[in-house]
Amino acid sequence: MKYFLDSAKMDEIKEAYETFGIDGVTTNPKHIMLSGKPFMTAIKDMADWANEQGFKDYNDFPISVEVNPHLDDADEMIKMAREISALSKCFVIKIPCTEAGCTAARKLEKEGIRTNLTLVFSPAQALFAGKYGCKFVSPFIGWKEQNGEDCKQYIQDIVDIYANFGFIGETEIICAAIRSPKQFVDCAVAGADCVTAGLQVYKDAMHHAFTDQGMKTFQDAWDNTAGN
Ligand code: E4P
């Protein structure tokens, strides 16, 4: 399963790459705002860093960048997608799962600009990404579970549908807005291709209180071993 960092902050991206070996980055307008930088500066900084790392394109290290969320016309989304995509071969264009968005995603994929269909909340919506050959589909998990919905079956249904129609490997499933280690496990058990989460969730997933307790036990044993 691929691990993506959901952030547009360069310090977080560098730490997550160094510590957790993340496979890519996803952003959205909220993350760009939280970076404190103007949109173009934030995405150019990510493009420069990816270039410095020697990543050639989205196969090496995909960075999802979302179009202006105010756009509600497919042609306008396509125009902005082309502008973003010209800045880095690592960029994948995040397009919302609306009628205009799906039209734009279908056309962009036909011209070779890779897309990530986002704001997906149902298996029916996820099917469109597979049909149109989007590079990624982003079903949101955290938002639904915060709303009291258990997402295990939701993730499983998307994985099964993708297997039924040969979309596996063509359109990668990014379980998005992951908020807890338990959600990581649910996605892994269902066979989702990728997860995207904030830095703290990766830290939480690597941590267990028994590991700390075990370290203390072994340190005490080491200190009390004859000759140490
Ligand atoms: C996914 O690609 C989105 O950027 C993200 O997961 C949205 O949720 P959040 O910003 O609330 O985590």
228 domain-assigned = no
* Ligand 1 contact, 177 CB (< 6 A): yes
pLDDT tens digits for range 193-220: 999 999 999 999 999 999 999 999 999 9
Q: From CA 54, how far away is CA 6, in angstroms rounded? A: 21
20 domain-assigned = yes
67 domain-assigned = yes
* Ligand 1 contact, 196 CB (< 6 A): yes
Q: From CA 24, how far away is CA 126, in angstroms rounded? A: 21
Residues 6+ apart with CB under 8 A from 68: 29, 80
pLDDT tens digits for range 87-112: 999 999 999 999 999 999 999 999 99
Top mutation candidate among 4, 22, 30 for ligand 1, by most atoms within 8 Å of CB: 30
In percent, the amount of the chain with pLDDT more than 90 equals 100
Residue 42 — very low, low, confident or very high, per pLDDT cuts 50/70/90?
very high
Q: What is the pLDDT of residue 228?
A: 86
pLDDT (average), residues 69-73:
97
137 by Cβ neighbours in 10 Å (0-12 / 13-18 / 19+) ranks as buried
pLDDT tens digits for range 107-146: 999 999 999 999 999 999 999 999 999 999 999 999 999 9
55 domain-assigned = yes
Nearest Cα residue to atom 10 of ligand 1 = 177
pLDDT tens digits for range 146-173: 999 999 999 999 999 999 999 999 999 9
126 domain-assigned = yes
48 domain-assigned = yes
pLDDT (average), residues 17-26:
98
Instruction: Give the CA dihedral 153, 159, 160, 165, nearest 10 degrees.
Output: 150
- Which of 193, 197, 196, 127 minimizes the C-alpha distance to 157? 127
Structure tokens belonging to residue 205? 């997933």
Residues 6+ apart with CB under 8 A from 198: 5, 6, 7, 12
189 within 8 A of 182, measured Cβ to Cβ: no
Catalytic residue numbers? 94
Residue carrying the six token digits 């079903």: 139
- Rounded to two decimals, the pTM is 0.96
10 domain-assigned = yes
Top mutation candidate among 5, 6, 119, 141 for ligand 1, by most atoms within 8 Å of CB: 6
CATH code for the domain in which residue 13 is found = 3.20.20.70
38 domain-assigned = yes
Nearest Cα residue to atom 11 of ligand 1 = 177
Report the separation in Å between the CA atom of 210 and the middle of ligand 1, taken as the mean of its atom positions: 30
Question: For the chain, how many structural domains are there in total?
Answer: 1
Report the separation in Å between the CA atom of 157 and the middle of ligand 1, taken as the mean of its atom positions: 21
- Domain residues for the domain of 198 are 2-223
Structure tokens belonging to residue 34? 């939280």
